[in-house]
């Protein structure tokens, strides 16, 4: 436990972290990779280049300082991060490495000496926070390994089938190479895949949501091919999977993880709102609800550019026609002439509160949504304006969590 003086010192740094948090974390990652380049095998290089990882860490450090006297307040965030750490294979012995470089980054950015009381207080606080993560992750590692069909670390899977879902999204059906049972998962969870690209110095790990209902003899992930722009680089791994990973190839996976999961203990209606490739966890939830909970009303809303980009449209339409509890609506922001001619969508443009009112009668529903950050900001604001209960609003980030 931290004494009152240490807590007071940590809390005094909150304004500094609010102002210089991202600068500190940028310096931290630079130091970390210079001193320990082997850790480049773990981190998503694209998130580093875009600054998302640095922002997410800055937010986490800020919240830890703000709640240092009541760390239980940030336990949900700790568990969310711990799921990612377990999926990536983060080890207890890596925490001191992180702590050393984080303290050094604080020193350099704020202009402090190693023996400054602030650095000493943060060293003590980091040890306490690291222990919380290590203990939570220890339980997760044990559960992942000991569950039926579970395993430790990464396990080889074979690409049993590769299916093009749209111009930009391809599904991969993955079966265990050893043909032994595989772990179940909750709709909304993800897997980590480890990829060694020929000629690349480091392996890379990416996390992809599972896009089918659980309790099958395969995992399905549906990957969007990320084509770069002026401000965003090509998705190295997504392009490799699309262009070079073929049926019969092997792909190492960690066991399913994640805390963005469907609550099946409720009986209230469910609204699933997907933007782009954010449909992957939504499809998993939709399939599970349609198969196992036919009494529970489900509204599925998919926003896409047009039908060429819209993945799994036919599957959703088929469920809507066959299942009495499923309704679906499609929104295109750039429909083609063929889309207009065939009336393949229900709304042109973007989701807004007025339109949500027109298709959803009961705000006492469970709302789940996933997609690009601006899309999620819009949906979240609409639901809050409508007065949807906070406990009924659930969302998932692809990549490091940031604020919406």
Domain holding 174: CATH number?
2.40.30.10
Is residue 120 located within the same domain as residue 216? Answer: no
Residue that terminates a domain, selected from 93, 111, 146: 146
160 in a structural domain: yes
262 in a structural domain: no
62 is catalytic: no
What's the confidence (pLDDT) of residue 217?
Answer: 96
137 is catalytic: yes
Residues tagged in the binding site annotation: 85, 190, 206-209, 276-281, 397-400
What's the confidence (pLDDT) of residue 42?
Answer: 83
What's the confidence (pLDDT) of residue 404?
Answer: 56
Look up the domain containing 176 and give its range: 155-253
Q: Which residues pair with 331 in a beta bridge?
A: 303, 347
Catalytic residue (one of 95, 240, 345, 368): 95
Cα separation, 42 vs 315, whole angstroms: 35
DSSP of 112-142, one letter per residue? --TTSHHHHHHHHHHHHHHHHHHHHHHHHHH
Is residue 61 located within the same domain as residue 136? Answer: yes
243 in a structural domain: yes
Cα separation, 34 vs 321, whole angstroms: 56
Is residue 117 located within the same domain as residue 242? Answer: no
> Mind listing the pLDDT tens digit for each residue in 219-231?
999 999 988 666 5
Structure tokens at 402: 């940031």
Residue that terminates a domain, selected from 253, 280, 295: 253
| pLDDT above 60 for 401 | no
How many distinct structural domains can be found in the chain? Answer: 3
Catalytic residue (one of 137, 165, 186, 396): 137
Average pLDDT over residues 236-248: 95
Q: Which residues pair with 296 in a beta bridge?
A: none
What's the confidence (pLDDT) of residue 338?
Answer: 96
| Beta-strand relationship, 250-253 and 155-164 | antiparallel
Q: Which residues pair with 360 in a beta bridge?
A: none
Q: Nearest-CA neighbor of 57 among 93, 17, 87? A: 17
- For the chain, give me the number of helices (H) and strands (E)? 13, 12
Residue that terminates a domain, selected from 204, 219, 253: 253
* H-assigned helices in 36-116: 45-50, 52-66, 75-88, 95-110
Is residue 12 located within the same domain as residue 142? Answer: yes
Structure tokens at 152: 């430790």
> Mind listing the pLDDT tens digit for each residue in 51-65?
667 787 888 888 888
Verdict on whether the full-model pTM lies above 0.85: yes
Judged by phi (left if over 0) then psi (alpha if -120 to 50, else beta), residue 158 lies in beta
Is residue 182 located within the same domain as residue 310? Answer: no
Q: Nearest-CA neighbor of 379 among 337, 345, 351? A: 351
Is residue 87 located within the same domain as residue 208? Answer: no
10 Å Cβ neighbour count for 48? 17
Is residue 8 located within the same domain as residue 142? Answer: yes
* Residues whose CB is less than 8 angstroms from the CB of residue 126 and which lie 6 or more positions away in sequence, other chains included: 99, 102, 103
Average pLDDT over residues 44-49: 65
Residues tagged in the binding site annotation for NADP(+): 276-281
Q: Which residues pair with 370 in a beta bridge?
A: 274, 396
Is residue 218 located within the same domain as residue 99? Answer: no
Q: What is the CATH number of the domain that holds 33?
A: 1.10.490.10
Is residue 229 located within the same domain as residue 305? Answer: no
| pLDDT above 80 for 109 | yes
10 Å Cβ neighbour count for 197? 14
What's the confidence (pLDDT) of residue 50?
Answer: 63
Residues tagged in the binding site annotation for heme b: 85
What's the confidence (pLDDT) of residue 233?
Answer: 63
> Mind listing the pLDDT tens digit for each residue in 289-299?
999 999 999 99
260 in a structural domain: no
10 Å Cβ neighbour count for 272? 26
Is residue 74 located within the same domain as residue 57? Answer: yes
Q: What is the CATH number of the domain that holds 302?
A: 3.40.50.80
| pLDDT above 70 for 305 | yes
């Amino acid at each position: 436990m931290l004494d009152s003086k240490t807590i007071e010192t940590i809390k005094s740094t909150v304004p500094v972290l609010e102002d210089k948090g991202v600068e500190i974390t940028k310096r931290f990652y630079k130091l970390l990779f210079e001193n320990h380049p082997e850790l480049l095998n773990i981190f998503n290089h694209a998130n580093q280049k875009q600054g998302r990882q640095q922002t997410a860490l800055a937010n986490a450090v800020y919240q830890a300082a703000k709640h240092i006297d009541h760390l239980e307040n940030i336990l949900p965030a700790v568990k969310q991060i711990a799921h990612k750490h377990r999926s990536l294979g983060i080890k207890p012995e890596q925490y001191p490495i992180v702590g050393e470089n984080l303290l050094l980054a604080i020193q350099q950015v704020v202009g402090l000496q190693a023996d400054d009381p602030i650095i000493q207080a943060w060293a003590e606080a980091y040890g306490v926070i690291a222990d919380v993560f290590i203990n939570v992750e220890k339980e997760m590692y044990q559960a992942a390994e000991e569950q039926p069909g579970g395993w430790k670390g990464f396990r080889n899977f074979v690409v049993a089938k590769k299916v093009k879902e749209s111009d930009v999204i391809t599904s991969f059906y993955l079966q265990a190479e050893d043909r032994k049972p595989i772990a179940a998962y909750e709709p909304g969870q993800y897997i980590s895949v480890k990829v060694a690209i020929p000629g690349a110095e480091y392996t890379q790990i990416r996390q992809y949501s599972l896009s089918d209902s659980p309790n099958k003899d395969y995992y399905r992930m549906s990957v969007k091919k990320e084509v770069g722009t002026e401000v965003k680089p090509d998705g190295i791994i997504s392009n490799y999977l699309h262009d070079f990973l073929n049926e019969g190839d092997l792909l190492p996976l960690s066991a399913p993880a994640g805390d963005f999961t469907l609550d099946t203990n409720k009986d209230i209606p469910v609204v699933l709102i997907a933007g782009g490739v954010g449909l992957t966890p939504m499809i998993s939830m939709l399939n599970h609800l349609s198969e196992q909970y036919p009494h529970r009303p489900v509204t599925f809303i998919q926003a896409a550019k047009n039908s060429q980009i819209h993945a799994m449209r036919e599957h959703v339409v088929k469920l809507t026609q066959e299942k009495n509890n499923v309704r679906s609506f499609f929104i295109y922001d750039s429909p083609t002439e063929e889309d207009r001619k065939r009336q393949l969508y229900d709304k042109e443009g973007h989701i807004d509160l007025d339109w949500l009112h027109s298709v959803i009668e009961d705000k006492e529903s469970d709302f789940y949504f996933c997609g690009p950050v601006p899309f999620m900001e819009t949906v979240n604001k609409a639901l809050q304006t409508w007065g949807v209960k906070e406990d009924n609003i659930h969302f998932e980030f692809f990549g490091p969590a940031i604020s919406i």
